[in-house]
DNA sequence: CCCTAATAAATAACTATTATCAATTAAAGA
DNA sequence: TCTTTAATTGATAATAGTTATTTATTAGGG
C-alpha cells in the first residue's frame, strides 16, 4: 500500500482510482493547478472521469487538509498539496504561481494579534503579485 | 467640490450620484463589504439602483486603484478603500474582517525575491484566518 | 442651454461551483 | 471468497457570483 493511499484511508476516504489519481497529481506537481487543469491533465488516463468528480475530490481533500485551496484573485481556485509553510508568487503576466520558502518570521505578529486584539490565528497566507524573471526577460515592460 | 468627487474626476470618471454614493460608502466604512452588502446598504437611499451598477462601479474604482478588491476564500469579493498598508484578519465564525497595521517589514523579502528569483513584486497581501475576541468570548470554541 | 459621450437600469448571458440522483464500487464482515 | 452496504462516480441540472447587452438617461464641456 503506498503512502498516498494511506493518507486517504487515514482520513476515511475510500481509495478509488480517480481519487488516487487526483491526489497523486497534486502531490507530484508544483504548478498549483485549478480544477480545470487537473481535469484536463487526467482526462487522458481517465477518459470517463467527470468534472464533478474533480470538484468533489478536491473538496474532500481540502476538508481533511490533505490539500490547500486558495485563490489569488483569479477566476478559479487553485490547489496545492505542498504542506510546507510557504508563500505564493503569482506572475501577473504568465499566470504561473511560484513557491517561496522565505524566512518570514511571523511569530511575534501572531502573538501580538492574540495579546493585543484577542484574535486567535489558525491559518495565514501571504501572496505576492508581480512579474517573474522569465516574463521580465521577454520583451515589453 | 468635495475630495471624493475630485478623486473620481482625477481618474476621468463622471461624478454620478450612484458612483459617489458607492465610493463614499467604501471610504467611510471599515467593514470590507461585498457587492451585495454595498447594494443593500445603498438601496434605502437609492431605491432605483441596480446591482449591475454596483458591480460596474466597484470595477471602475478598482481599475483606477481607488479601491482594492480582494478575496479571502469566501464566495464573493470584498472591497476596501483604505489605502494604508495593512493586513486583513478574517474571523471564520462571524465573518467579519478586521484591519491590522502591524510592523511586518517585508522589504528584505521583496529584495530577496528580486535578487534571488528575479521576481519583481508590485503588490502583496497577507491574510490571517482565525477567531476574533468577541467570538472567542461567546460560548463554544 | 445643448450636445454627446459616458453612465445607469433592467435583464440576459456566462462561468465556476454545487447539488441531485441513479448506477457503480470499495472494503468490511460473514 | 461472497455479500452487503454505504460511499463514490458520472451525467447533468441547478445555483450563485459576475459580466455583457441594450436602451434610456444624464453629467459636464462648449
Residue closest to sugar C1' of D11 by CA: A50
For chain A, give the mean pLDDT.
94
Give the residue from chain A lying closest to B128, CA to CA.
Answer: A124
Q: Can you give the distance from the CA of residue B62 to the C1' of nucleotide D26 in angstroms? A: 23
CA A37 – CA A46 distance, rounded (Å)? 14
Pair type for strands B68-70 and B78-80: antiparallel
Cα dihedral value B58, B61, B64, B66, nearest 10? -130
Tell me the percentage of chain A whose pLDDT exceeds 90.
92
pLDDT digits (tens, 9 = 90+) for A61-105: 999 999 999 999 999 999 999 999 999 999 999 999 999 998 788
Q: Is the CB of A92 under 7 A from strand D?
A: no
Cβ-nearest to B119 among A117, A127, A130 = A130
For chain B, give the mean pLDDT.
94
For each of the domains in chain A, give its residue range(s) and CATH number, in order of start: 1-83 (1.10.10.10), 84-141 (3.30.1490.190)
Q: Please indicate if any CB of chain A lies within 8 Å of the CB of B11.
A: no
B17 with B5: CB under 8 angstroms? no
For B28-86, give the DSSP string. H--S---HHHHHHHHHTT-TT--HHHHHHHHHHHHHTTSSEEE--SSSS-EEE---S--
Would you write out chain B's pLDDT as a tens digit for each of its 141 residues? Answer: 589 999 999 999 999 999 999 999 999 999 999 999 999 999 999 999 999 999 999 999 999 999 999 999 999 999 999 999 999 999 999 999 999 998 788 999 999 999 999 999 999 999 999 999 999 986 544
CA A108 – CA B51 distance, rounded (Å)? 42
Q: What global pTM score does this model have?
A: 0.92
Residues 24-53 of A with CB under 7 A from strand D: 46, 48-53
**Residue-level pLDDT at A96:** 97
Amino acid at each position: 500500500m503506498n503512502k498516498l493511499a494511506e493518507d486517504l484511508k487515514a482520513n476515511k476516504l475510500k481509495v478509488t482510482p480517480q481519487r488516487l489519481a487526483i491526489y497523486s497529481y497534486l502531490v507530484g506537481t508544483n504548478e498549483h493547478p485549478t480544477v480545470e487543469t487537473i481535469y484536463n491533465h487526467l482526462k487522458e488516463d481517465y477518459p470517463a472521469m467527470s468534472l464533478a468528480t474533480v470538484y468533489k475530490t478536491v473538496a474532500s481533500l481540502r476538508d481533511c487538509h490533505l490539500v490547500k485551496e486558495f485563490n489569488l484573485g483569479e477566476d478559479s481556485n487553485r490547489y496545492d498539496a505542498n504542506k510546507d509553510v510557504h508563500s505564493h508568487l503569482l506572475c501577473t503576466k504568465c499566470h504561473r504561481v511560484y513557491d517561496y520558502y522565505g524566512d518570514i518570521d511571523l511569530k511575534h505578529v501572531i502573538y501580538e494579534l492574540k495579546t493585543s486584539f484577542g484574535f486567535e490565528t489558525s491559518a495565514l497566507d501571504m501572496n505576492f503579485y508581480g512579474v517573474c524573471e522569465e516574463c521580465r526577460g521577454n520583451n515589453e515592460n
